[in-house]
Amino acid sequence: MKTHQLPNQPVKLNAVKQGFVSVRTNSRRFINRPIIHNRSLLLVGSLLLLSGALAVQAQTTYIKANNTTALPTSGSWTVAGFPGSGDIGKWDPTVTAANVVQLGAAMSLGEIQIVNPGGAVTIWDPTTANALTLNGVNGVGIDMSAATVNLTIQTNVLTLGGNQTWKIASGRSVTHTGANGIAFGANVLTITGGGTFNANERNNPEIGRAS
């Protein structure tokens, strides 16, 4: 594993490189292409008056139950059902030990929130079709701003479903070790909080060089 010491400004990961990269960051941006073209959007005043303020995305927070039942399963959570593309999956003291849990199927999740479960959290699945997609609830894909443990995602594919921020507290880490890396699409990933983001560069055309 190599550690890249980055300048105090946003960086982009956009080139192929073999190995493993560890990024310690206060505020960094990761994208899959060297240039993002910003386009101005003209909004008509009358439409704004009709629509009012932009609505905050509604979501439901699901608390992880103290088990290793596959995540997209009702029994994996303390209430019926499981979190969907606009919901939050939260790990708190309900989970009393390290939690290694499989997807078992493709899952689209709004946000992962890690607070203070009894041990580190690992989400895994060896099947490429069982991809994990993080959409970002109100712009946040992973919230570890108050985490006391680390998060590891071991899925072959981790997809960003929209622009999002991962909040990783100082001393905490998020690690992705999937063989196919992170699928950014045209989305931008911003990491804040002073924690560490570990990414597998091998066989990953969309993430690699810190620049």
Q: What is the pLDDT of residues 31-40, one digit of tens each?
A: 544 323 333 3
**Residue 59 pLDDT grade (very low, low, confident, very high; cuts 50, 70, 90):** confident
**CA–CA distance from 79 to each of 61, 90, 133, 165 (Å)?**
10, 12, 22, 27
pLDDT confidence bin for 29, thresholds 50/70/90: low
Q: Which amino acid would we find at residue 167?
A: K
Q: Taking the model in full, what pTM does it have?
A: 0.77
Q: Is the pLDDT of residue 17 over 50?
A: no
Residue that has been written with the tokens 């078992």 in this structure? 104
16: nearest Cα among 142, 181, 164, 153: 181
CA–CA distance, 133 with 173 (Å, rounded to integer): 19
Top-confidence residue, 142 or 38: 142
The closest alpha carbon to 177, from 141, 123, 134, 130, belongs to: 123
Phi, psi of 24 (to 5 degrees): -95, 130
What's the one-letter identity of residue 47? L
Between 135 and 30, the more confident residue is 135
Phi, then psi, of 89 in degrees rounded to 5? -100, 120
Residue 84 to residue 123: CA distance in whole angstroms: 16
pLDDT bin (cut points 50, 70, 90) of residue 26 is low
Q: What are phi and psi of 47, to 5 degrees?
A: -65, -35
Query: Counting beta carbons within 10 angstroms of the beta carbon of residue 176, is it exposed (0 to 12), middle (13 to 18) or buried (19 or more)?
Result: buried
From CA 210, how far away is CA 181, in angstroms rounded? 15
From residue 56, give the alpha-carbon distance in Å to each of 48, 169, 175. 15, 25, 29
pLDDT band at 116 (very low <50, low <70, confident <90, very high): very high
What's the mean pLDDT when you consider all of the chain? 78
Residue 87, φ and ψ in degrees, nearest 5: -115, 170
